[in-house]
Amino acid sequence: MHKSQSQNTKGNPDLPKLDSGFDDLVFREPVISDDEILYDVRRWSIVTEAAKRAVRNSTETRALAKEFSSSKLSEELPYHALRALASTDPQVARSARSVGKFMDYLAIDPVPESALPIDIRTAPPLITKDARIERLINARESMSPEKYAAHKQQFTTVDKKGVTNREKKLIAERYGYARDIKLLGLTAELYDSPINPDDSEDGVIRHVLESGTTLGITNEAYREHPGILDPESWQGRRQLKDRVYEFTVDDREYIMKERKTNRHIDTMEKGHRDGLTSEEEFYLSQRLVNSQQSGSSEIEVAWEKSLGFVHFPDGYQFCVFEKIPVMDSKASATSQFANHILKNPEIYDGEFTEASKRAEAMYSMHQERIDDLLWPRSGRGDAPLSYTEFALLKSQYAAFEAKESLRQNANAQGYDDRDGMEVSFHFSTNHDKAKLVATGYDYEYYNRQDIDEMMQRTAILKESRFESFYIRPERKVGITYAASLSMLEALGWTIDDLDDTE
């Protein structure tokens, strides 16, 4: 491995000495300069496609690739793996030569682990040599000799944390390539040791490869598509998000989700935290799918359905899911629902009449407090509820009810989502029958909670915290607020103490 070719350093590349009166200070030089080329992923594809062919066609290459399953993920793995494959297969060797300096890019020294104290996203910026010296010069001019000596001493012992933006991209790219190498090892192992459907228990086939890699797949998924855990069967794999990929097997689309690590980019704002393992995601999804409620005539709730998981010895792992057929935003789905209501008054006229009566009763009972909720005030509650306002509120509360149903379903299984529940929405009609479909997905940060405590918290919220949940109408007049509150009350929230709420 080597430094970027645009660097010109001598001695230890991590700790170059400085002159100009600061030769007692040491600094970490970036492993890649800001003007170094970051290569297009297509060059990686050229080499890995040749490697896949070699694994299929050569027993020797396949035996070598199997070792990648137990190799540790690192920035260095892609380079070492391709060098090894090129030594056994002439096609891989030719492909490696054809991509030119891309192999040199893979060979750049890894960024020191100590430079990233938590993860890529939150890693502090690397303070350059010139910037540090400038700070010292300014300090020397403004401090007493004693204070300056103490200040300078900090620089001799300072932790070498911090990376450049170019280094962040380098780390993320090469770890992504390393995961591809792990998948190549999985393909090689499955070629000679395919999943045995007889190894089934409680509806799940478990398969352990020679490397120690563990696979699990539902009986149903194996019957329909036995190759969904084998990257060799995947067609058109493409990245959707940091840990999420889409691929096709026999014209059916699937989703692959890696377990997020501190070498992914889209980590939590305050730093990476481990979530569920892929196996835990798999089994949680199965529980939620099997326990999901039927919903109502206008609402359908569902859960993203897991099909299988793979767990490598070094901790790299992923879970495969059915692709949710339609994923829309709540705003889009509720807008479509509201438009459907507006276009079909003959279907909803009776419900509108009842909603108007409940709103008038609510406003009459709590007029003073409801008027206080209007801020800025733009009208009182004299005008009747309009059909348009009814349509908007009904569609929005349908989405609210659907998400609440999903949350309660998860709570009943003993889980809560500490990162905020992810829900996709979809509006559909069939012969004038409208339905809002809500699907819960992305379980990585679901965590175990005491069921009784969660149910108790929900009961307290419904009894005392309606003001945090009611939907604020677009038209700020008393009657629309009263209509919103009455719809929330119909869903189980207590509104009786409205006048006592501060």
Q: What is the DSSP string of 41-55?
A: HHHHHHHHHHHHHHH
φ/ψ (deg, to 5) at 204:
-125, 130
Q: What is the largest CA-CA distance in the chain?
A: 86
Q: Which two tokens stand for residue 47?
A: 């080499």
Residue ranges for the chain with pLDDT beneath 50: 5-19, 500-502
| Total H helices, total E strands in the chain | 16, 13
The closest of 311, 249, 270 to 122, measured between CA atoms, is: 270
Length of the chain: 502
Give the type of residue at 213: T
Q: Are 158 and 27 in contact (CB under 8 A)?
A: no
Look at strands 317-322 and 200-201 and give their pairing. unpaired
Burial of residue 178 (number of CB atoms within 10 Å: 0-12, 13-18, 19+) = buried
Residues whose CB falls within 8 Å of the CB of residue 372, separated by 6 or more in sequence, listed in order:
none
Provide the 8-state DSSP code for 241.
Answer: S
Q: What is the pLDDT of residues 251-284, one digit of tens each?
A: 999 999 999 999 999 888 888 999 999 999 999 9
**Between vectors from CA 168 to CA 163 and to CA 171, what angle results, nearest 5°?**
115
Q: Are 34 and 164 in contact (CB under 8 A)?
A: yes
**DSSP for 309-329, written as a single string:** EEE-TTS-EEEEEEPPS--B-
Segment (H or E) for 131: helix 129-142
Between CA 412 and CA 41 the distance in angstroms is 44
Between CA 267 and CA 321 the distance in angstroms is 21
C-beta atoms surrounding 235 within 10 Å: 10
Between CA 164 and CA 6 the distance in angstroms is 16
What per-residue string of b and e applies to 474-496 under the rule 16 or more CB within 10 Å gives b?
Answer: eeebbbbbbbbbbbbbeeebebe
Between CA 403 and CA 398 the distance in angstroms is 9
Q: Are 440 and 422 in contact (CB under 8 A)?
A: yes
Provide the 8-state DSSP code for 120.
Answer: T
Q: Which two tokens stand for residue 83?
A: 């060098």
Residues whose CB falls within 8 Å of the CB of residue 421, separated by 6 or more in sequence, listed in order:
403, 406, 407, 410, 440
Q: What is the CA radius of gyration of the chain?
A: 30
Between CA 415 and CA 288 the distance in angstroms is 10
**DSSP for 321-383, written as a single string:** EEPPS--B-HHHHHHHHHHHHHH-HHHHHHHHHHHHHHHHHHHHHSHHHHHHH-SS----S-S
Q: Which two tokens stand for residue 300?
A: 């359908």
C-beta atoms surrounding 214 within 10 Å: 17
What per-residue confidence (pLDDT) applies to 295? 67
Give the type of residue at 220: E
pTM, to two decimals = 0.87
Between CA 393 and CA 480 the distance in angstroms is 9
Between CA 229 and CA 320 the distance in angstroms is 7
Q: What is the pLDDT of residues 319-333, one digit of tens each?
A: 999 999 999 999 999
